[in-house]
Structures are given as structure tokens and as C-alpha cells.
Amino acid sequence: MAILSPLTQTPEITFLESISTDQLIQDWRVKIGLDIASEFRGHATVDRYRCDRTGLEFFLPLETAASSDLYGQLMALPWYYLGDKWEYAAALKDLQQAQWVLEVGSGSGAFLKQLRDRGISAMGIEYSETAVAATQAEGLRVENKSLQDLRHDYDEQFDAICSFQVLEHVVDPLGFLQAALALLKPGGRLLLAVPNQHSFLRHYYNVLDMPPHHMTHWCAGTFQALTALLPVRVEHFAYEYLAKYHIPYFIEGYAQYWHKRLPFGKWLTDRRGLAIYETVLNLGLHRLCRGHTLYVCLIREQ
């Protein structure tokens, strides 16, 4: 069976690499402290491809995507669901005129609380049953449903739909986007935040940026390409500056990159040099560097 791009549904793709699931299982145990062996369902490798027309990177097989149980375990980790995210402030600027908002992947409910505090009516849907129970207990309107589940009752009902750090987990991104647009009023806003494929993440080995956690990698060019596939236009992009807690990963990623590519790279990336870079960035220069997240505001065309 031909392998197709999950966005264009065509075989115009390029194979990039195969990754050992045994290695990923070992790295998760060491770095995250979780056993994910069952998530790969017996597959020895996961393969990474690029869609030639859109630049989207995606992983196969699809059945290696994380289960609800894994997200429940991740939710128990104190660093996984941040109480506040950079993209929340970006989205609130775009929601000043919105009256009825849906958040897809509402997690711990942090953004729904901010909307409630501003008098904006909102509801959330969430994959993790653990997160749904916790947010409902706080009086938030959250359901364990998919976008497709909402079609009957909410077609063209929402002024805006927000989804932060979710799209990269989805195995059918085209279906996800189509379903979201169907729930938006014409002219409504689809606000998305994803890890930026063209940030320091491209140089840093991060087990969370691969299956079973992330199934796709996104960049601004991919979102621009959506305008030829879906009834949307890009209103604007925003880029997170480098967060202080990401500085060590930023330095490690670029150190590995330059160490391999420059003949004198080992002198630039020795322990003393890395310590100097970290000190300088922490003094405030981190705000001049592009960070983890890419934010995009899409408008549903009439």
C-alpha cells in the first residue's frame, strides 16, 4: 500500500529516517521515568517522512500514537501541564471580540479559567479522562469528546477555536482541521500553537518530539500551504522567544550541531564555553532567540 501525506493525501513524500522503538523505550525510562513499551504495539521501528508539498514531517505507523493511559501518566508529572503558556497571551489578544470559544485539548483547564475570568463563554474537549475529571471538578465545562463528536450540535457555532500543543499529537491532522473549521462561524478564528520545527528543536534530541507522543512536526511554511488545501487564510504568526527553562536544551542542541559541522567546533562547545553561553543568555539575550512555540491565527473563509 502506498504511503500518503496526511495533509495532501498524495504519495509526494520523502523518507527521512527509521528510529528504533527499543531505543525510545529506553530513553523514556531514563529521561521521563515511564515505561512506554506497550505503546508501540510490537513495532520495531517508527519511520519519519516529509510531505514534499507542505513540508509537514510525520511518523508512521499511526498505531504507535499515545494512548489515553499514557497521557494520564504524563498529567501526573508536575512539569507536563504548565499553569500558564506563552501562547495564552497571544491568543487572548485575538479573542477580544469572541463570545463563544472552544478549546481542543484543554488539559488542566488553565486557559479555560483565563477565558472565564474575562467573561468569555467557553468549553473544552480533552482526550485524557483523568484531565476531564479534574477540570469538571473545578466547575469548568469540559467533555471527553472529539471534534467530530461535536458536529451535530455545534456546526458553525463558535467564534473561535483554540488548540495549544495538540495538533502535533494528532494522527489525522487534515481531518482534525476540517472538523475544526466546520465548527467555526464563517470568518471565525482557528488559533493553533505547536512546537516550531525550525527552532532549536531541530537540533535537540527530544524523546517527547517523537512517537508515541508527537506524530507530526510543523513550521510556518506548512501552515501557509494549508491555504491551498482548506478554506482558510493566515492572518498572522507569532514566535515564542526562548524561555529561560529551555536555555539548557537550546545550548545543548546547537552545541551538538556546531561540534559536528565546524572544524574548530569542539573548542567552541567545550564545558567552559557552554557555561559562558548559558550565563549570557540568562542575562536577557534569550529574548533575542527564537524559542519552542509557533503560534498561528487562521481565519475561516466565507
Of 294, 182, 174, nearest in space to 236 by CA: 294
pLDDT at 235: 98
Identity at 82, one-letter amino acid code: L
Contact 199, 218 (CB under 8 A): no
Neighbours of 243 (CB within 10 A): 17
Report how far apart the first and last C-alpha atoms of the chain are (Å, whole number): 37
CA distance linking residue 156 with residue 180, whole number of Å? 9
pLDDT (tens digit, 9 = 90+) per residue, 60-105? 999 999 998 898 898 888 888 777 899 999 999 999 999 999 999 9
pLDDT at 269: 62
Q: What are 151's three cell numbers?
A: 458536529
CA distance linking residue 61 with residue 40, whole number of Å? 9
Of 174, 210, 179, 214, nearest in space to 194 by CA: 214
Sheet strands side by side (includes 45-51): 13-20, 45-51, 57-60, 216-217
pLDDT at 268: 58
Question: What's this model's pTM, rounded to 2 decimal places?
Answer: 0.93
pLDDT at 207: 95
Low-confidence ranges of the chain (pLDDT < 50): none
Strands (E) across the chain are located at 13-20, 45-51, 57-60, 100-104, 121-125, 142-143, 158-164, 184-195, 216-217, 232-241, 290-300
Question: In the Cβ-directed half-sphere of 93, how many Cα atoms lie within 13 Å?
Answer: 10
Q: Provide the H-helix boundaries in 129-172.
A: 129-136, 151-154
